[in-house]
Structure 1
Amino acid sequence: MINMDVFHGFLEAIRHLPEMAQPTAMTDAERVAKAKSVMRAKTDRSLALDLEACVNCGYCSESCHFFQSTQDAKYSPSRKLDLLRRVHARETSAFAPIKRLFVSDITVNDLKEWQELVYDSCTECGRCSMICPMGINTARGVNVMREALYEAGLAPLELTAVAQEQAGRGTVFGVGPEQLQQTVDLLRGQGIAIPLNEPRADVMLVTTVIDVLLYQDALAATARILNHLGVNWTLRSKGFEAANFGLLAGSESLQKAATQRIVDEALAIGAKTVIVPECGHAYPALRWDGRLSDGQSLPFEVLATAEYVGREVSAGRLHLTPGDATRKITYHDACKLARHGGVMKEPRAALAALGMDVRETSPTAEKNWCCGGGAGAFLINRAEGLRHKAWEIKREQIDATGADTVVVSCGSCRLNFMAGAEKVQWETKIESVVELVAAQLPSK
């Protein structure tokens, strides 16, 4: 059961994040120079092709939840790469000497304007990239813009504050090893066995600040499932935090440092599998971007919790007791899991085993609409109204299914659904895959 006082306390902490940030002092010229340096360095052949391939067809706008919910042309995904295009045209394109004659240079005011476009109004959900007839990877371009703005000291203060905390103190929202121990002790007091800091284990589970503070039932449910399966697993105090605010803010160095903590602990215990919690961005941060210090691929498998549970159900190793067949549920695909990661059939296999009436939204799976809260957008205070408008699209699609429950596999999605539901008094229940599965484990 979610403690709503803790939820509201978490929202209040978000409101005060800007006060915690340590802004970087730079002249306007220095900010522009740093941003352009990142843009030039990141514009490889693939990105250059993307920047030059846009034919302004508008399909990306039709696929974007921020554009569709506002009908404001400034939120068109293709426009979000315009600064990158200008720098490329002037400095890295084949005709740069000529284009410099009529393409204006970027300014610090441009950078400040683009902060809203690549942070507040883009969750890097990838739907525009999937729809684009030219195959332009807009999400990657937006990520490069975030890196440029971060290096220029122009990332949102909320994301800067948490990224600085994670890098400097090794905590997120004040949650570190001590707070993890307290939550583990609490769950152990409920009779749930949770191995902590075991020297060897086949499976290493990582969690997030959200689960430690708010969604403790999700952590408990994952532990119960692993214990039910007889898995040799552990949590590690020095590498438990899956949330990666370097990735969200746009700092490549901080992103790598946060990932390295997890990698080091997994290597230390000889883990064969690392299970990422219900956290959308944590999945690609480790699975797709994670590397060994020498750049080699990780020697262990990385799975999302819903992916792992679905695999075990499909393989016949995890049997569930059928639940209420009259209960109507629908599944919300987290963008980073489904569209970016291909994790679609596994959560559905788990939900099908529950014996409930599972209904799909339209569209669904890889064409699913984003809830509007991912990629750190939920933490940006000024984006609240825009984020809620985007969420309304998702709410309408869920209402159309007639489901009484929406099931999620991402903590950020869950936060955004909860905030949206409270704002409009939405009565649809919001559950997580892992909690529903754990609730129907058979007795041994």
Structure 2
Amino acid sequence: MRTGLVGRHTRRVLAAAAGVILLLAASACSGGDEDAEASKVEVFTWWAEGGEKAGLDALVGQFAEECQGQQFIDGAVAGGAGINAKQVLTARLTQNDPPDTFQVHAGAELSEYIDAGRVEDLTGEFQAWGLRQALPQGLIDDLTVNGKIYSVPVNVHRANVVWANPQVLSDAGIHTTPKTITAFLADLEKLRKAGIESPLALGRDWTQLMLLEAVLITKLGPERFSGLFTGETSWSSTAVSAGLRDFAKLLKYSNADRDAMDWPDAERLLIDGKAGYQVMGDWEAADLTAKGFRAYDWFTFPGNGDVFQWLADSFVLATGAPNPDGTTCWLATVGSAPGQQAFNAAKGSIPARTDTPTDGFSAYQLAAVEDWKSATPVPSCAHGSACSQAWQNAVNSALSAYSTNHHSTTALQKSLAAAATQFVKQE
């Protein structure tokens, strides 16, 4: 471990085991501007609006109760899936100006921060807080890197969900849920003939990757899909070729300005009745509700069966955090059952902990909790659980080029295969 951190790490574990309130004892004895500055905890996220901001606000409320004397500082940078936030974070870390803690997707995305020494080992805290018993073993396995754990997950999201405006569908004569991509394409065609110019609401790069991943899950099945990110399945296979052709067909039913849209802008098309469907993670349920649109339907992407494509938002202790004790209290709140209940009830995700009460959860969330118990889990490259940030960037660039310049799917497949050849060797 780096010089000077061993003692601090031990103190953090002991403080966490005794209870997060004890973290405030020292600060209660002093005052003034210097102490006020020392009590600030900058939490860096991309949760800036809608259901995401509602979830963060609920978590901040719990933090205020459990960590009295500590001051939450909102370091949010807007931009779906953290595209903008990650760029700002990279610049700050490079300049040795880290926030106290930052949001990251659990899984492969965290590897670059670990390798660069940007985050601290939280293995002791996990043990002290009982998280090894409260989290599913599969999630613990995904969080563990070389025997250590570096982040605290606050939730689990499902990525492969289709959201629908039932009134728009009904007006077009669509009254059943499509079970195959062929049936989905047929319904999209019905919508277009009914006067809906953009039947499938879609945004930029990473949202297109979500759509592509859902298609590939249908074409490959869960095991071979996961193999795309371990080297066990070839991106040059005929099954991927077929998936890309279906992806191209779906893209033709989306809005022409997709490359200039973030996901909430695309969602607005659904709310306003200008689209019938949108493929988006289940944070959309809370976001639609927060925007006053409750008359929505949802279903798993056609052909995905019982596959649950998962991602988990988590928080870290940044190396060099200005307020490590306050940050530890934030992380304890993030990992607690009350914190996860408050957060997930507002955000629309489900708790990472299996012992969290589901009071206040929506019908969608209750269904997702049950699905998570029995469905087949697969990771998501679009949200960092399947691939590194660099790999995700390469895939997003390839999709943007395809969407903007209308290259052939053959060219797109070559770009995706080249990215896999480069990055799978590094994982």
TM-score, length of structure 1 as denominator length: 0.26
TM-score, length of structure 2 as denominator length: 0.27
Q: When you count strand as a share of all residues, which structure comes out higher?
A: 2
Higher relative contact order (CA 8 A, sep 6+): 2
